[in-house]
Amino acid sequence: MAHLRAIVGEEGLLEDSSRAAPYECDGLAHERCRPEVVLLPRSTLEVSKCLALLHSHSIPVVPRGAGTGLTGGATPVEGGVLLGTARMRRVIEVNAKDRFARVEAGLVNIDLTRACCDEGLFYAPDPSSQAACSLGGNVANNSGGPHCFKHGNTTRHVIGLVIVMANGEVLDLSAPEVDPVGYDLVGLFVGSEGMFGIATEVTVRLTPTPEAIETLLGVFASLDDACDSVSAIIAGGWDASALEILDKLTIAAVEASVFAAGYPKDAEAVLLVEVEGSAVECHENAEGILAILADHGVLEVRRAQSERERQKLWAARKGAYGAMGRIAPDLYVSDVVVPRTKLREMVRATTDICTARGLKILNVFHAGDGNLHPNISYDRRDSDELRRVIEAGDEMARVCVEAGGTLSGEHGIGLEKLAQMKLYFSDEDLELMHTVRRAWDPSQNMNPGKLLPIRACMETRTRPVPVEASGRAGS
Ligand SMILES: Cc1cc2nc3c(=O)[nH]c(=O)nc-3n(C[C@H](O)[C@H](O)[C@H](O)COP(=O)(O)OP(=O)(O)OC[C@H]3O[C@@H](n4cnc5c(N)ncnc54)[C@H](O)[C@@H]3O)c2cc1C
């Protein structure tokens, strides 16, 4: 412990159990395990020294950004050390001419756009958690967000990384290249859920702020109509930058909260649409989309009349999970994906799965991506209710995969969908993923127990030397 303290300083090491308590889970709150030690280094060098030392004792390490993940990815289920990037939040460089920025991995997503907006640029991936989540966490989960429908998930924007490998070695892939020669290691690392190493610096592409933006709110008497209009907008070739649906219960939760934006409480669903580009493009796309909405029974369309109104509509959408905290103490957020043409059918199927189990489901989702977020408000202290929530999560994943969809649009697998991986991947697929993981981290001590349900080589893994006794505090 003294060696670790010497590396990160007094403030950078938390060993007292109560100080480590905030690190025992992420947004998947029913999976908890308090880390034995929390390390908060300040630089790549400190991360490297910590990992080298921990590696020499075969101690597992769980990387953590802001802990906003929804799948238990940053939960230290096998004990050991949790290494957080919260003290690494510098913007190292904004290069407006070449349109890229280099930042430390702990930087909060929204702070990157704040750092470059005066240059007429922004960072496009905008998870609804963007006021809290870190760029490093976004990289590890290949995160999305409402505007990733147009701009693409994180992987489309990351052009360089500095990575500290499990043994402490520093892999510098930070030079931004238009077309990298050789294997795309940056691309491979994005989405690796903390199992390949720790990203300490991230170089990202910046996007020019559009000349014009138009935001529309379509009000519907049925969730089916809202879903169908999304497929029709895309099939019609209209270029929306975001297509987000909120159902009636979500609207009620939002409108009762500090995020209230005047969404109509009697509507069965609203579709939040944004278009962007030149003023002419924007106008044409908005008009085309309005015609589609009219064909699909829209009751009313509201247009944001000012930037303030637009921001309010988005704050309500992005604050929806927070608003759901008013309904019950816990929230389970599923992240299944279906072909867009099956949106209506799958929203019904996931609703039926939850209601059959007596669970309260609220839908707010990235409809343009076919990325459903059936959210279940519940109380994890009620063990029977928790059991039904987990069962519903498994069942929703099964029906969506059977409908040609997949397990995750953006939240990753973590702990939550470990068992469900077998619904989608064969044993051969999983073994291949193990092989890739072992190439990055032969010790398999980086974020163990996540993503891969088979532990083909567990017998060869050295068990950690416990720093201090710890137990799994939740179920
Ligand atoms: C209210 C709310 C709304 C959300 N909305 C969205 C959304 O719209 N789109 C979306 O995609 N997600 C969303 N999320 C999920 C979550 O915010 C994202 O997954 C986010 O990228 C996690 O970032 P984080 O910094 O909190 O990472 P953490 O939760 O701390 O960690 C996530 C994973 O990344 C790993 N990790 C963290 N930092 C590093 C690093 N530097 N190097 C290597 N591995 C690392 C961890 O081990 C873990 O596996 C939402 C969450 C909440 C609570």
Instruction: Give the per-residue pLDDT at 195.
Output: 98
Residues 174 and 256 in one domain: no
Please report, for the domain that includes residue 197, its CATH number: 3.30.465.10
Question: CA–CA separation, 120 vs 96, rounded Å?
Answer: 8
Q: What is the pLDDT of residue 462?
A: 38
Same domain assignment for residues 178 and 241: no
Could you tell me if 108 and 135 lie in one domain? yes
310 and 217 fall within a common domain? yes
* One domain for residues 222 and 316: yes
> Is there a single domain that holds both residue 340 and residue 388?
yes
pLDDT at position 463 is 37
C-beta of 165 in contact with ligand 1 (< 6 A): no
Of 402, 421, 440, which closes a domain? 421
198 CB under 6 A from ligand 1? yes
Residue 25 lies in a domain: no
Q: Which helix (H) or strand (E) holds 114?
A: helix 109-116
Is residue 134 lining ligand 1, measured as CB closer than 6 Å? yes
Atom of ligand 1 nearest to the CA of 27: 53
CATH number for the domain spanning 373: value is 3.30.70.2740
Residue 309 counted as domain residue:
yes
Distance CA 173, CA 471 (A): 38
Nearest residue (CA) to ligand 1, atom 44? 194
Nearest atom in ligand 1 to the alpha carbon of residue 106 is 41
User: What is the C-alpha separation between 156 and 418, in angstroms, rounded?
Assistant: 26
In terms of residue numbers, what domain contains 387? 328-421
Query: What letter represents residue 460's amino acid?
Result: T
Asked if residue 40 is part of any domain, the answer here is no
Together in a domain, 180 and 223 = no
Say how far residue 41 (Cα) sits from the centre of its chain: 23
Cβ–ligand 1 contact at 140 (below 6 Å): yes
Nearest CA to ligand 1 atom 52: 129
Domain's final residue, options 173, 208, 243: 208
Last residue of a domain, one of 322, 355, 387: 322
Instruction: Tell me if 30 is assigned to some domain.
Output: no
CA–centroid distance, 112 to ligand 1, in Å, is: 16
Q: State whether residue 418 is helix, strand or coil.
A: coil
**70 pocket-lining for ligand 1 (C-beta < 6 Å):** yes
Within this chain, do residues 272 and 202 fall inside the same structural domain, yes or no?
no
Q: Is there a single domain that holds both residue 348 and residue 333?
A: yes
Same domain, 233 and 287: yes
Note whether residue 49 is domain-resident: no
For residue 59, how far is its CA from the centre of ligand 1 (angstroms)? 23
Q: Is 26 in the pocket of ligand 1 (CB under 6 A)?
A: yes
10 domain residue, yes or no? no
Cα 414 off chain centre by: 11
CA of 69 to the centre of ligand 1 (A): 4
Residue 176 pLDDT = 64
Q: Is 270 within the bounds of a domain?
A: yes
The response to whether residue 375 sits with its C-beta less than 6 Å from ligand 1 reads no
Q: How far is the CA of 143 from the centre of ligand 1 (A)?
A: 7
169/327 Cα distance (integer angstroms): 47
Pocket test residue of 26, 104, 133, 192 for ligand 1, highest count of atoms within 8 A of CB? 133
- Shared domain for 216 and 197, answered yes or no, is no
Query: Which residue has the least CA distance to atom 7 on ligand 1?
Result: 127
Task: Output the CA 364–ligand 1 centroid distance in Å.
Answer: 18
Going by C-alpha positions, the residue among 84, 55, 75 that lies closest to residue 464 is: 55
pLDDT of residue 175: 79
pLDDT at 458 (0 to 100): 40
The residues with which 273 forms a beta bridge, in sequence order, are 216, 243
Domain count, the chain: 3
Tens digit of pLDDT per residue, the chain (475 long)? 899 999 999 999 999 989 999 999 999 999 999 999 999 999 999 999 999 999 999 999 999 999 999 999 999 998 889 999 999 999 999 999 999 999 999 999 999 999 999 999 999 999 999 999 999 999 999 999 999 999 999 999 999 999 999 999 999 998 766 677 889 999 999 999 999 999 999 999 999 999 999 999 999 999 999 999 999 999 999 999 999 999 999 999 999 999 999 999 999 999 999 999 999 999 999 999 999 999 999 999 999 999 999 999 999 999 999 999 999 999 999 999 999 999 999 999 999 999 999 999 999 999 999 999 999 999 999 999 999 999 999 999 999 999 999 999 999 999 999 999 999 999 999 999 999 999 999 999 999 999 998 654 343 333 333 333 333 333 3
In a domain, 36, yes or no: no
Question: What CATH number is attached to the domain comprising 282?
Answer: 3.30.70.2190
Q: Give me the amino acid identity at 343.
A: L
Q: Are residues 317 and 339 in the same domain?
A: no
